[in-house]
Amino acid sequence: MSLLEKFYVQACRWAGKFSWFKRGQRATDELQENLEFASLEVQAVEVAALAFLAALACATLAAVVFSILMFVGLPLLSLLPITPMPLLAYMFVGWYPKLRAERQRVRGLGEAPMLINYLTMSMKVTPNLERATAFAAENVEGPLGIGLKDALRRTYLRAHAGVGDALSSFAERWGKWCEDLKRSIYLLRSSVSERAEVARLQTLDRALELSLRGARDRMRDFAAWLHLPTLLIYSMGVLLPLVLVAILPVLSVINISVDAPQVFAIYCVVLPLGVYMLSRWALAKRPATFPPPEVPIEASRARALLFAGLLAAALVGVGLLSPIADEIRAILFLWAPTLGIVLYLHLTTARAFKKQGHIERMEREFCDSLVQLGNRISEGRPAEEAFEHVADTARGSELADVFARASANIRLGGMGLRASLFDPERGALRRVPSRMIHSVLRLLVDVIERSTRAAGAAILRTADHLHELKQVELDTRRSLGEVVTSMRSVALFFAPFIAAIAARMQGLLASKTASVGFLSSGAGASPAAFLFVLGLYVMLLTAILMSYAVEIELGDDPLAKRAAIARALPVALGVFTAGAIIGGQMLAAIIG
């Protein structure tokens, strides 16, 4: 449970102690269902009480600010940003369980193909429903894995008549949002009653095919829906800042003076927050896909932070001490935090990201290696000889060393088949943190230890299943490729260049309107300050859009996000710098 969830639960319980708030609120059955689905251990009436209390607290704060503004004599327009706070607080508290439950459901739908794959693989090897369910529950994380573990636990506690009934209950619960998962599970159940082996295998193949087709359809629907939020993000992140540049110098017509703090609040708080919220809204609808390998960051964060801070401080010192123009100094001050952030991300992420890429290449090669392994096992060769053959055939690939070490452990180390792969000290997989490779090989070792002849066919069928899953992942990336490419283009080139031109245009407009009496005090920010603020905006927008593009394409991959931001920030700020220098000269020549 995250810190936000813990705080939310504790706040709801605290608000629930006030009986007056609880009696004055009504809670719906949908809210209680969302709380149970999101595993938030509070009552619906407690959530309603907290929502009312949060709205009341924000309304009190707005009244206090209003009184202060009246006393000081500031314009009441300054109260505008906090006016909707009571409504927003009420909506956030009340909708948080729904948002959390929706996110859990979306993650669960993305895990459906992997869950059905594990169930199908195990059922093809051994037609035992309980064993297959336990295997899938052990290897699938997230909402589906948790739900399957809970179904097994309830079976052991005699809450269900058997594993079949537990799976049916599990399918009915998720079938409200994923019809293909429900149908696939019922096909898996029916395969147990098939007497003919051919019919049983066909039923299992049909179950997996249904799940994969459902995953493809969900991703195609998401790709078609994604154009609207992408257009909104583009409008708010690129077009709106350009419109504001033209408006700021003429705001004095209605007696509004916009100084540097207000410009900073608009461009570095309001607009980035709006773009971020839009991106999170869009990503909340994205069906989850296959999770990336989990690679921990082993680099020293404190050391990386020290080096990054020294670099940024050195650039700031150069900007303060050098006799340069204010605009150039503003650009130098932008490069200081940018290079510091890039250095920090590189020092903390580069090694882990490289290792993650190494593991992903191993997973891509794993299907081909399984085909070779299955063919050798089918010929009746012992496991160590099959491992050695795969290592020789795949020499130069990422998996060759793994199979070579496994063969050496059996031949020279006197280890058994299972220990040669999974021994914590000498096993061939001890440095391969891929859950998929570990789980598949663990299943295949069980088969090989029982029957070598049956193992060959089982390995080949498993390779086919993994190939189909990888094909779904590839189709997913292709369907989202257009949106991802457009977002990267906006983040790296279009938005920084437009922002640089906008900053230069504001300076020229301010200088031109300064001679007009009723426009003379429209924008109080100097051209250098405005350039600096828009540069900060470019940095924030680039980080948000690159994170958005990565999560659309790859899912929630923190290492890939950090690496993408580290590569994108220097490019975006370089475009901004070039646009500020070249664009300023071009505008001066055109406008005069």
Q: What is the 3-state secondary structure (H, E, C) of 142-164?
A: HHHHHHHHHHHHHHHCCCCCCHH
Of 466, 491, 526, the residue that ends a domain is 466
For residue 239, is it within any domain?
Answer: yes
Residue pair 16/35 in contact by the 8 Å Cβ criterion: no
What's 258's DSSP letter? Answer: B
How many domains does the chain divide into?
Answer: 4
Backbone angles phi, psi at 308, to 5 degrees: -65, -40
For residue 583, is it within any domain?
Answer: no
Q: Do 209 and 237 belong together in one domain?
A: no
For residue 342, the model assigns a pLDDT of 92
Reading the block at residue 298, the tokens are 């082993």
Q: Do 205 and 237 belong together in one domain?
A: no
Q: Do 212 and 147 belong together in one domain?
A: yes
For residue 81, the model assigns a pLDDT of 62
For residue 539, the model assigns a pLDDT of 92
CA distance 282 to 269: 20
CB-neighbour burial class of residue 202 (10 A; exposed 0-12, middle 13-18, buried 19+): middle
Q: What is the pTM of this model?
A: 0.78
For residue 443, is it within any domain?
Answer: yes
Q: Do 109 and 218 belong together in one domain?
A: yes
Q: Do 61 and 149 belong together in one domain?
A: no
Per-residue pLDDT of the chain (592 residues; tens, 9 = 90+): 567 778 888 888 887 777 665 555 566 777 777 777 777 777 877 888 888 888 888 888 878 877 776 776 655 555 566 677 788 788 888 778 887 887 777 777 777 887 888 888 788 777 888 888 888 888 777 788 888 888 888 888 877 778 888 888 888 888 877 888 888 889 888 888 888 888 888 898 888 888 888 888 888 888 888 888 888 888 888 888 877 776 766 665 555 666 777 778 888 888 888 888 888 888 877 876 666 777 777 667 888 889 888 988 998 888 888 888 788 888 899 999 999 999 999 988 888 888 888 888 888 888 888 888 888 888 878 878 888 888 888 777 778 888 888 888 888 888 888 888 888 888 888 888 787 788 778 777 877 776 666 677 777 777 777 777 777 777 777 777 777 888 888 888 888 888 888 777 776 665 655 554 444 444 556 778 888 888 999 999 999 999 988 888 887 788 889 999 999 999 999 999 988 888 767 766 665 5
Q: Do 151 and 176 belong together in one domain?
A: yes
- Amino acid letter, 495: A
For residue 207, is it within any domain?
Answer: yes
CA distance 145 to 120: 15
CA distance 20 to 394: 71
Residue pair 576/501 in contact by the 8 Å Cβ criterion: no
For residue 304, is it within any domain?
Answer: no
For residue 252, the model assigns a pLDDT of 54
Of 83, 109, 142, the residue that ends a domain is 83
Q: Do 205 and 114 belong together in one domain?
A: yes
Q: Do 371 and 427 belong together in one domain?
A: yes
Q: Do 125 and 219 belong together in one domain?
A: yes
Q: Do 399 and 449 belong together in one domain?
A: yes
Q: What is the 3-state secondary structure (H, E, C) of 199-225?
A: HHHHHHHHHHHHHHHHHHHHHHHHHHH
For residue 258, the model assigns a pLDDT of 65
Say how many Å lie between the first and final Cα of the chain, rounded.
60
For residue 573, the model assigns a pLDDT of 92
What is the extent of the structural domain holding 160? Answer: 101-223
For residue 576, is it within any domain?
Answer: no
Which residue in this structure is represented by tokens 């061939």? 428
Q: Do 385 and 494 belong together in one domain?
A: no
CA distance 188 to 166: 13
For residue 322, is it within any domain?
Answer: no
Distances (CA, A) of 521 to 248, 326, 450, 533, 536: 10, 21, 86, 19, 24
CA distance 568 to 542: 7
CB-neighbour burial class of residue 77 (10 A; exposed 0-12, middle 13-18, buried 19+): exposed
Q: Do 28 and 125 belong together in one domain?
A: no
CA distance 138 to 118: 10
Q: What is the CB-side half-sphere exposure of residue 383 using CA atoms within 13 A?
A: 25
523: three-class secondary structure by DSSP = strand
Residue pair 429/343 in contact by the 8 Å Cβ criterion: no
CA distance 575 to 582: 10
Number of neighbours of residue 322 by Cβ within 10 angstroms: 10
For residue 456, is it within any domain?
Answer: yes
CA proximity to 295, closest of 507, 548, 563: 563
Give 513-519's long-range contacts (Cβ < 8 A, gap of 24+).
513/249, 513/250, 518/252, 518/253, 519/249, 519/250, 519/252, 519/253
CA distance 292 to 310: 33
